Amino acid sequence: MLQKIITVLFISGNPMEFFSLSKILNTNEEEISNLLPEIKNYLNQGGLDLLITNKEISIVTKSENADVIENFWKEELNSELTQASLQVLTLVAYLKNPTRSDISFIRGVQSSQSIRTLAIRGLITREGERCVLTGEALKYLGITKLEELPDFENINKELNEKLKFASQID
């Protein structure tokens, strides 16, 4: 159960309520709470920590690694966008305000890191669960409105049909 809890917290990328975590793992909140010291110890061995509030839990980096994290973000912000980040930016543009789960579904991989990178660079904002393209992103893409993207209408329709089909399967 310990590894399952860590896995769900990791792929979430955001704090999770104990209730939601217990529902996903088909267990109870007490079992999760009882494992917290062991999870914290396990994560500490790898440079991570567990942030626990009254209702939520999340995986975070250890504060003593702040200099490494700062160096990482400086490099990340000064470098070109990765292919993953470009894919996410493209999906945000063509889907018009998709959720993080929409993006991850279309890409077939967890996309939290790319979303976070784009938000830090000011290319997208998060409005609740929705990812929204900023004016800065339009400049980056060399357009003034989304409809100027190549084959916008067809690609938007195709992506939304994939999402609609996926929601019918669930």
Q: How far apart are CA 115 and CA 125, in angstroms?
A: 9
| pLDDT value of position 15 | 87
Together in a domain, 48 and 6: yes
Q: How far apart are CA 101 and CA 110, in angstroms?
A: 8
| pLDDT value of position 170 | 55
| pLDDT value of position 76 | 66
| pLDDT value of position 13 | 76
The number of residues making up the chain comes to 170
Structural domain containing residue 11: 2-65
Nearest alpha-carbon partner for 32 in 45, 17, 49, 47: 17
CB atoms within 10 A of CB 74: 10
Q: How far apart are CA 168 and CA 170, in angstroms?
A: 5
| pLDDT value of position 169 | 63
Together in a domain, 97 and 149: yes
pLDDT along the chain (170 residues), means of 10: 91 87 93 93 91 89 85 72 92 93 89 89 89 91 89 92 76
Identify whether 73 is part of a domain.
no
Nearest alpha-carbon partner for 28 in 63, 61, 1: 1
- List the structure tokens of 41: 């110890």
Q: Which residues of 105-143 are buried (b: 16+ CB within 10 A; e: fewer)?
A: bbeeebbbebbbbbeebebbeeeeebbebbeebbebbee
Q: How far apart are CA 120 and CA 143, in angstroms?
A: 21
Identify whether 87 is part of a domain.
yes
* DSSP conformational letter for 14: S
H-type helices in 48-151, by residue range?
66-78, 83-95, 100-107, 112-120, 135-141
**62: part of which helix (H) or strand (E)?**
none
Q: How far apart are CA 133 and CA 144, in angstroms?
A: 12
Together in a domain, 39 and 96: no
Q: The domain spanning residue 121 has which CATH number?
A: 1.10.10.10
pTM to 2 decimals? Answer: 0.58
Together in a domain, 102 and 130: yes
